[in-house]
Chains A and B, each alone.
Chain A
Amino acid sequence: MSTNRHEALGLTDEQVIDMYKTMLLARKIDERMWLLNRAGKIPFVISCQGQEAAQVGAAFALDRTGDYVAPYYRDMGVVLAFGMTAKELMLSAFAKAEDPNSGGRQMPSHFGQKKNRILSGSSPVTTQLPHAVGVALAAKMEKKDFVSFVTLGEGSSNQGDFHEGLNFAGVHKLPVITMVENNKYAISVPIEKQIAAEKVSDRAIGYGMPGFTIDGNDPLAVYEVVKEARERAIKGEGPTLIEAVSYRLTAHSSDDDDRTYRNKEEVDEAKKKDSVFTFATYLKDQGILTEEIEKEITSEIDRIVNEATDYAENAPYAEPESALKYVYEE
């Protein structure tokens, strides 16, 4: 039996099971979306697969009733943990009127939901980073006890908004946590062609903030570092840059063929570290995830994904003329 790591982090058995359920739900929704795409039912998918541990581990370390998140397009794990439902994600995949992210206006995975403090995102990468810094500035100005959490890919960490936003946050010691989900590829271009530094987190020193590189396949490691970052932020000690290293298990999107730029052996090797399985193994070793509980979870998730799919598929599209609405306040 492995050592119990979660108790030392202050996490109960129920909480780690909940983490696992959220990771698995993200994975299963994502897998269903690929099936729907290949069946010609939805036009586009962009995946979270391989990054669930980082997303869910981080989200669980935040105050999910008060903190703000500015997720990027792979963050299904983050938005599920922050209250978006499988049904709502499927409504977005099918571009239906009821989709709370955008009412079917944006591509899937362009998340946003005000009631859950999920900032609306776009397709140009890294633009969300200064937004999270702006929310953190508001927290400081209003003397409120919340933080903002922003994620992006490692390729996106080369954008000017990364530099401008983190420098701003560093100068004003703002309560913002930036997590780069390093999945080793920016579409086809590997990390070594993106960044000359050894680690993305090496850049933190230039912004006057601590930087950490951690195993993004380990939700507990991510939880720990984000939890500490949040405590520093709340105490007024400013921002943190975290790099969570994992691997993108799918092609970039449903329109990409990754066989043109990486080999199968590499992907197979990464799958051995797939957090959905390694975390399940940890929970089984701990005697928390019994066969019975696992069965229960699996059938519950199957039911949720099936119901979400059926509901979204049968839901109406927005009226054509509704394309004219909400350019300005009405």
Chain B
Amino acid sequence: MPVMSYIQAVTSALKEEMQRDEKVFVLGEDVGKKGGVFRATDGLYDEFGEYRVLDTPLAESAIAGVGIGAAMYGMRPVAEMQFADFIMPAVNQIISEAAKMRYRSNNDWNCPITIRAPYGGGVHGALYHSQSVEAVFANQPGLKIVMPSTPYDVKGLLKAAIRDNDPVLFFEHKRAYRLLKGEVPEDDYVLPIGKADVKREGSDVTIITYGLCVHFALQAAEKLAEEGIDAHILDLRTVYPLDKEAIIEAAKKTGKVLLITEDNKEGSIIGEVAAIISENCLFDLDAPIQRLAGPDVPAMPYAPTMEKFFMINPDKVEKAIRDLAEF
């Protein structure tokens, strides 16, 4: 099985879906000739031409809105927001339009658009190239939000997003793009949206997280295994709607739960995960639910000292697991 990077998995999924279905097309800023600022659409312009890999004007609401219109017609647009931070001008289109299209038309119209955006910090991106924006969209029924953690998941889930008949936000961790590599099948495969995935079996502490933090949790878990602390890691993969069954099962498994996000702590995805566990697992818990998250400041600062302070890393995860194991 070939090994590819996280971003190569993105490109591979796009390419295969565009080959499979002529209705699939990519639109966004710099996605065409340049192949994207991160090169996620590298080579697609040459293979599929200008209109299937469309360089749009610099206007995010139009990228989303034009994509929504094309999707209503029957195309399969994959819109790229250059950075998740820049999705804000498109929020009205995503929340008022895409999310509500099927519901408001009583199932007459639907909106099969995928909106990809690189998110996350640790790349010297400062306030506006580092944010995690999933919580903005995570109370909007009608949307699905996918945040994969491995190249294998990226390819299978991006294909599923493109084939989905409802709007999917697909957030890719930009630091993972070239940091993470893994085996990815050459065959066509899709992974189910809405299903979490156990990334490590363990019996002492349950960690529930998503995105790049899965990788940090795995690193911490390997280290702690040497001390005899056995961590169980659940990767949410889809952060909205959440896989409640998998969350409850994972929490019950060890009775000690650590939730991790790179986002600000308050109002983040893991707050909802904590609520699900509280509602369902009271008598199975042996310790209070713990949250490890970014601080409640507006966004990630630029200077390396402050950036490091904000970011989650394997050391922070290791300490949090150890504290919980010793509770």
Interface pairs (10), CB distance under 8 Å? A102-B106, A106-B104, A112-B105, A113-B108, A120-B108, A124-B92, A130-B65, A133-B66, A135-B73, A165-B62
Beyond A134-B75, A327-B103, 13 additional contacts (C-beta under 8 Å) are: A112-B108, A122-B104, A131-B65, A137-B54, A137-B70, A140-B51, A160-B61, A161-B93, A164-B65, A165-B65, A168-B56, A168-B62, A326-B102
Task: Indicate if the CB atoms of B73 and A138 lie closer than 8 Å.
Answer: yes
Q: In the complex the two chains form, is B62's CB within 8 Å of A103's CB?
A: no
Interface residues in B, total, Cβ within 8 A: 44
Give the distance in Å from the alpha carbon of A171 to the alpha carbon of B55 in the complex. Answer: 11
Interface residues of B (CB under 8 A from A): 25, 51-52, 54, 56-57, 59, 61-62, 64-75, 77, 89, 92-93, 96-97, 100-110, 141-142, 144, 164-166
Tally of chain A residues near chain B (CB < 8 A): 46
Out of A161, A165, A329, name the residue touching B102 (CB < 8 Å).
A329
Tell yes or no: A272 within 8 A of B by CB: no
Beta-carbon nearest neighbor of A168 in chain B: B62
B109 adjacent to A112 (CB under 8 Å) = yes
Interface contact B70-A134, CB-CB below 8 Å? yes
The answer for the CA separation of A46 and B41 in the assembled complex, in Å, is 46
Q: Which residues of A contact B89 (CB under 8 A)?
A: 160
Contact of A137 (CB < 8 Å), options: B66, B107, B164: B66
Is the C-beta of A114 less than 8 angstroms from some C-beta in chain B?
yes
Interface string of A122-142 (1 = CB under 8 A from B): 111001011111111110110
- With beta carbons under 8 angstroms apart, the residue of A133, A163, A171 that contacts B69 is A133
Q: Which A residues are within 8 Å of any B CB, using their own CB?
A: 68, 70, 99-103, 105-106, 110, 112-114, 119-120, 122-124, 127, 129-138, 140-141, 148, 160-161, 163-165, 167-168, 171, 325-330
- Chain A residue with Cβ nearest B56: A168
Report if A130-B92 is in contact (Cβ < 8 Å); known contacts: A68-B73, A327-B103.
Answer: no
Asked whether B166 lies within 8 Å of A329 as measured between CB atoms, the reply is: yes
Give the CA-CA distance A137 to B72 in the complex, in Å: 12
Asked whether, in the complex, the Cβ of A134 is within 8 Å of the Cβ of B108, the reply is no
Which B-chain residue is minimally distant from A119 (CB atoms)?
Answer: B72
Q: Hey, which chain A residues are within 8 Å of B92, CB to CB?
A: 124, 127, 161
Q: Are A141 and B75 in contact (CB under 8 A)?
A: yes
B72 touches A124 (CB 8 A): no
In this complex, the member of A106, A160, A168, A330 whose beta carbon has the largest number of chain B beta carbons within 10 angstroms is A168
